[in-house]
Amino acid sequence: MPLGQRSWTAAPAIAVEDRLVRALAVLRVVLTLNLVGLTLWRVDSFVRPWVAVAVVGVLVAWTVVALWAYAEAHRRVAGLLVVDLLVAVGALLSSPLLKGEDFRATVPGFWVVGALMAWAVHWRWPGGLVASVALCAADLAVRSQVTQANYGNVFLLMVGGPIVGYLVGSLQEMATERDRAERDAAAAAERARLARAVHDGVLQVLALVQRRGPELGPEGAELGRLAGEQEAGLRTLIRRQDARGPASSAAAAGVAAEVDLGVALVALEQRPAPRVSVATPGDPVPVAAHPAAELVAAVGACLDNVARHVGDDASAWVLLEALPDRVVVSVRDEGPGIAPGRLAEAAAEGRLGVAASVRERLAELGGQARLETGAHGTEWELELPRGPRTLAT
């Protein structure tokens, strides 16, 4: 990516840069006062003192321009930073001309740190590295010999630029993550408030109409059925809205995605057969994407068995329970049940549908599947423990 292209455009990252630029402005003023004071103190070390005074005047004037230019984010373009660095490099290269070949200290001295920090703040560690290399190369190029003191100054410049740039990048990332977390928390609080309002009002009224409607005759029964459909649809909408925020944040942060298991199970009501009714908790049940998909697939296998052995017009009920240490999904029908020994007979014949689709799926996730069957019907109980591999805690 070209150095002129900004990779951080989010408001938190720009806010971090603005604050660091303000601190850099103070540093520039201090470095400029130090430059003027050292120049007056060492004026006798210059072979061309009046030219040196003019050069220092240019550096002072550039400091004033830089303070104004860097103050606004839209003025921090590539051209400004390139000119800033060229002024610092040019001041270093002028040292032999103004102080003679055997000079000990360069004309700008520590003043060049302002340009170095500007590159590190704006372009992070790559910018700090480029500026460090340019300044160190210019400093070493004008010296007839490198002393231990000179080496120490060059070493600090070479290390300081990339480190400061890296720290700036880290601060920007932290600010962006903090801003995202604050937005997610505010959105979650608003969703929870709306969910409580809907649950306490609309959903309870719809549930009441669904229960009491049949008492009013055929028309009341139809009204109750419609109320039940609207209640289920509204609950699904609320859960999908709850699931959208965390999933998006996880994707943006580059972490494993999670889904609301309740929303995933409610989608099974759209199956053509059997007729499925899903009951879930009022709050989202976050589950890692892969375990959720496997659990829903296991529930789907149970429903396939209902359609195959009870009939396409059969009814099935799915209940999700979220417990502190596990989640439990129950799948129940009111068919004739599974004949004793049928599963063992099917396994002996090589037909491992139930074992592979239900029991093995749960076993691979550390869970278990229990089956109860009889004349009252069949009920599967699928249990998945809460843990880092499967569920959000």
Per-residue confidence (pLDDT) for residue 236, from 0 to 100: 65
pLDDT band at 179 (very low <50, low <70, confident <90, very high): confident
Percent of the chain with pLDDT over 70: 79
pLDDT of 318: 92
Residue 243's contacts (CB-CB under 8 Å, 6 or more residues apart) are 259, 260, 263, 284, 286
pLDDT band at 13 (very low <50, low <70, confident <90, very high): confident
The beta-strand segments (E) located in the chain are 258-260, 275-279, 286-288, 315-322, 326-333, 368-374, 377-385
pLDDT score of 7 more than 50: no
> What per-residue confidence (pLDDT) applies to 253?
45
Tell me, what's the pLDDT at 146? 80
Average pLDDT of the residues of the chain: 82
CATH of 257-393 among 2.30.22.10, 1.10.510.10, 3.90.1170.50, 3.30.565.10 = 3.30.565.10
Going through 80-129 in order, the beta strands assigned E by DSSP cover: none
Cis omega (within 30 of 0) for bond into 385: no
Apex CA 237: angle with CA 235 and CA 242, to 5°? 95
pLDDT of residue 320: 92
More confident residue, 312 or 355: 312
Helix (H, G, I), strand (E, B) or coil at 108: coil
Question: For the whole prediction, is pTM greater than 0.75?
Answer: no
> What is the per-residue pLDDT for 123?
93
Which pLDDT belongs to residue 359? 83
Q: Which amino acid is at 110?
A: F
The fraction of the chain above a pLDDT of 90, given in percent, is: 34
User: In this predicted model, what pLDDT tens digit does every residue of 237-269 receive, in sequence order?
Assistant: 666 655 555 444 444 444 457 888 988 898 888
Average pLDDT of the segment spanning 102-109? 86
pLDDT tens profile 215-236: 777 777 778 777 777 766 666 6
Among 45-49, 144-148, 276-280, the least confident range:
144-148
Phi/psi region, residue 58 (left: phi>0; alpha: psi -120 to 50; beta: rest), is alpha
Q: Is the pLDDT of residue 392 over 80?
A: no
Domain limits, the chain = 1-255, 257-393
pLDDT in tens, 267-313: 888 888 788 888 888 788 888 888 888 899 889 888 888 887 788 78
Comparison of pLDDT for 151 and 126, the residue scoring more: 126
pLDDT at 135: 94
Comparing C-alpha atoms, which of 280, 288, 309 is closest to residue 384? Answer: 288
Residue 121's closest CA among 156, 92, 152, 80?
80
Least confident span in 8-12, 100-104, 267-271? 8-12
Mean pLDDT value of segment 124-152: 90
Contact 315, 379 (CB under 8 A): no
Residue 168 structure tokens: 């700036």
For the chain, helix, strand, coil in percent to 5 are 70, 10, 20
**Mean pLDDT (whole number) for 354-363:** 74
Q: What is the pLDDT of residue 319?
A: 92
Dig out the tokens for 244 from the structure: 């959208």
Instruction: Answer yes or no: is pLDDT of 200 > 60.
Output: no
Rounded distance, CA 282 to CA 236, Å? 10
Are 378 and 309 in contact by the 8 Å Cβ rule? The answer is no
On the CB side of 101, how many CA atoms lie within 13 Å of its CA? Answer: 2
Residue 375 contacts residue 381 (beta carbons within 8 Å): no
Bigger pLDDT: 130 vs 281:
130
Which one has a higher pLDDT value, 87 or 201? 87
